[in-house]
Copies of this chain bind each other. A is one copy, B any other.
Amino acid sequence: MARFTGENLTCIRGERCVFTGLDFAIQPGGALKLVGPNGSGKSSLLRLMAGLIPPASGSLAWDDGAVSEDPEEHNGRLHYVGHLDAVKTVLTVAENVRFWAGLRPGADTARSAVVAALGVFGIAHLVDVPGRFLSAGQRRRVNLTRIVSAPAELWLLDEPTTALDAAATAGLEQTMARHRAGGGMVVVSTHTEVGLDGAEVLDLSDFAENVHDEADSMAVGL
């Protein structure tokens, strides 16, 4: 099975160096939890891993093959969940899920498969409901259904529990555990507690160019 690694990564956004000299390595079945204060670059690192932004320096590798050499292939092996849910309001839940699954090889877009995938997040009963009727949490669940409806080894999840209530959060934790048990990898950014047994923790603030102590200035301000 494959290994996903990053070496000496630097990320520059809006003329500012967000992090530099960052290394990581994820084994099959492994997990990485990104933490750090606001603006420390958790989302940026995830987008970098997805190939949405090129690193200013350093490189990503999949089993010793550079990711930048075949971005399309890299796309094929990852699922990315960002801040936006990409749920079309005029399409039903099933249509939404089926569209995204249909873009990937090896996905089963039959209705029964879609219903099963929705069941994983407890929204199988919403299968024929148009997106506009969904609450924020339900939308998020539809978005998360994408990642189980088509297989991909690497899951990149940016604050996936935002807007989820306790029940849905528990469901997501179980799903991630199952994915890892099957040899998948998970990278999660979070401010709150997310259950990820044996996950490596990466604190982004350790890689800032000049570490600032916002906590201090906070204390002074109060």
Contact = CB atoms under 8 A, between A and B. Distances in A.
A217 B134 CA distance: 16
B221 A120 contact: yes
A135 interface: yes
A171 B222 CA distance: 7
A196 to B, nearest CB: 17
What is the interface of chain A mostly: helix, strand, loop, or mixed? helix
A124 B221 contact: yes
B165 A191 contact: yes
A221 B163 contact: no
Interface in A40-76: 40
A190 to B, nearest CB: 11
A183 B140 CA distance: 38
A121 to B, nearest CB: 7
A119 B167 contact: no
A131 to B, nearest CB: 12
A112 interface: no
Interface residues on A, range: 35 or more
A214 to B, nearest CB: 6
Contacts of A136: 38-39
Given A37-B165, A39-B134, 12 more contacts: A37-B137, A38-B135, A38-B137, A38-B163, A40-B135, A119-B220, A119-B221, A121-B218, A123-B217, A167-B218, A168-B218, A171-B221
A91 interface: no
A122 interface: yes
14 contacts: A37-B137, A37-B165, A37-B167, A38-B136, A38-B165, A40-B135, A122-B218, A122-B220, A124-B217, A125-B217, A163-B191, A167-B215, A171-B222, A174-B222
